[in-house]
Structure 1
Amino acid sequence: MAYDKKIAEQIREVLPPTTHIEERKMFGGIAFLLDGKMSVGVLNDVLVARVAPEDAEKLLSTKGVRPMDFTGRPMKGFLYVEQEAISTKAALKKWVDRSLSYTKSLPQKKKKR
């Protein structure tokens, strides 16, 4: 699978400059990781957003948002956000900021030995 490089570049443009983000190819797309944890990404031509699971249900009522079902069943706390829902820079920034905020709230990953 490929990913939309234009969306990836737009994500880079709205990321806060002081945030240390690692980019990694994942699932045939690209993921933006904060402290080693996936925050947002692009798969094909959709944004993948990591959100608080308790917020996901409410966000699903947003036009262009659907559960991330990459594995054949919905993945808790991950949403696909279609281009119609991120058609402006402000809309994309809102999704990126929401995902970064949630990712920052997660516990630190344990280092592998």
Structure 2
Amino acid sequence: MAKSVTKTSAIADPMVERLRAALGQRAFTEQNMFGGTCFMLNGNMLIGTSKRGLLVRVGKAAHSAAAARPHARPMEMGARTMEGYVRVAPEGTATDADLRGWLDLALAFVGTLPAKSKSAKVANKRA
């Protein structure tokens, strides 16, 4: 399965390599978003990393439980809480098992979403 990889900066983020390895043979793409690298599955944002930690898409139904986990808090952009997304501090992804737990939570939600097509994105921008 083809993977689309975009170089994000001259300084390598070790979390990017850990996420690539954890995603294994899944067909994913990478995109620069939120000041870091986001991993996309079928055109949907799955999980991302930046110097502030991991950004995990968990969906609205799992938001409260995910935000209550150790080292996690609701994702905020400016003064707005992004329901369905949590930010995980680096301490919360210290082990491969920790990272796998967050990735599995994101995969469980994003796996329920329909695939996005590039043509739909272009059409929405033009509308």
Q: Structure 2-normalised TM-score?
A: 0.78
The alpha carbon displacement at 1:52 in A equals 2.2
1:32-54, Cα deviation, whole Å (9 max, x unpaired): 00011100001224000000211
Q: Percent identity?
A: 30
| Rg larger for | 2
Match of 2:15 among 2, 7, 21: 7
Counterpart secondary structure, 2:29: strand
Is 2:43 the counterpart of 1:36? yes
Matched, 1:80 2:82: no
SS in structure 2 of the partner of residue 91 of structure 1: helix
Q: 1:16 aligns with which of 15, 24, 27?
A: 24
- Which runs of 5 or more residues in structure 2 are unaligned? 1-8
Segments of structure 1 that go 5 or more residues without pairing to the other structure are none
Q: How does 1:87-106 map to 2 (within 5 A)?
A: 87-106=94-113
Native 8 Å contact 1:4 1:42 kept in 2: no
Amino acid at match of 1:105: T
> What CA distance in whole angstroms lies between the structure 1 residues aligned with 2:69 and 2:55?
14
Bigger RCO of structures 1 and 2 (CA < 8 A, at least 6 apart): 1
Q: Which runs of 4+ in 1 moved over 4 A?
A: none
Distance 2:12 2:104 in 1: 20
Q: Give distance in 2, aligned partners of 1:65 and 1:41.
A: 14
Once the 2 structures are TM-superposed, how far is the Cα of residue 4 of structure 1 from its aligned partner?
Answer: 7.0
Deviation readout 1:10-49 (Å, 9 max, x if unpaired): 11111131x1110011122110000111000012240000
2:58–2:66 Cα contact (<8 Å) kept: no
RMSD of aligned residue pairs (Cα, Å): 1.9
